[in-house]
Chains A and B, each alone.
Chain A
Amino acid sequence: AQSVTQPDIHITVSEGASLELRCNYSYGATPYLFWYVQSPGQGLQLLLKYFSGDTLVQGIKGFEAEFKRSQSSFNLRKPSVHWSDAAEYFCAVERGGADGLTFGKGTHLIIQP
């Protein structure tokens, strides 16, 4: 069975600093990989996705993620965070097609002024 690990429950970053959120997955093949963000009172919003091809993917709001097959990782990065980035971030995988997603436990991002 596939699984997703987000080792950091909380991360605190100063505004303007760089950010990296970690995600490791367990799956027999290369799954579809996603990062979602949830702001308070909102639904989950897709930041970016990886299916195949270029292992560095660009998403919305200035985020990017890099797929590393050898490490089974799909870490999310942003060069300079803004106070509005404070939210909970979820890494997810899918076997393919229109299956349900398997999520990690999420990482709360706290932005310090």
Chain B
Amino acid sequence: EAGVTQFPSHSVIEKGQTVTLRCDPISGHDNLYWYRRVMGKEIKFLLHFVKESKQDESGMPNNRFLAERTGGTYSTLKVQPAELEDSGVYFCASSPLLAGGYNEQFFGPGTRLTVL
């Protein structure tokens, strides 16, 4: 079974440009999460989808970030326009939607974004 995949693995862009990151969750996982790790800092939660709906977007840093999950399958995270402080590693995770208990989040390898 394929794990969580993310594309691209690396992206280098200039300040002011637009970048779109993609995440393909494990097939059948309705929960999808985005996280970000800025250099030297902890991994921070950005938002959570349940199917195509945003369940919690309290961690999104500002309105330059737009996440979508049309059809409830893959998700994209667009940064427009990118700023220097957006550099970091963006992780995606998914988990099944099961009743009760905790559903383990499975993480992708991340996309390393560098804004010059």
List A residues at the B interface (Cβ < 8 Å): 4, 32, 36, 41-46, 49, 51, 90, 94, 96-106
Contacts and interface: CB of A to CB of B under 8 A. Distances in A.
B102 A32 contact: yes
Interface of B: 3-4, 31, 33, 35, 40-48, 50, 55-56, 59, 91, 93, 95, 97, 101-110
Chain A interface, DSSP helix/strand/loop, else mixed: loop
A98 B107 contact: no
A106 to B, nearest CB: 7
Given A96-B102, A98-B48, A101-B33, 9 more contacts: A4-B42, A43-B108, A44-B107, A94-B102, A100-B33, A100-B35, A101-B105, A103-B42, A105-B42
Contacts, number: 62
A95 B27 CA distance: 26
A43 B45 contact: no
A98 B42 contact: no
B63 to A, nearest CB: 19
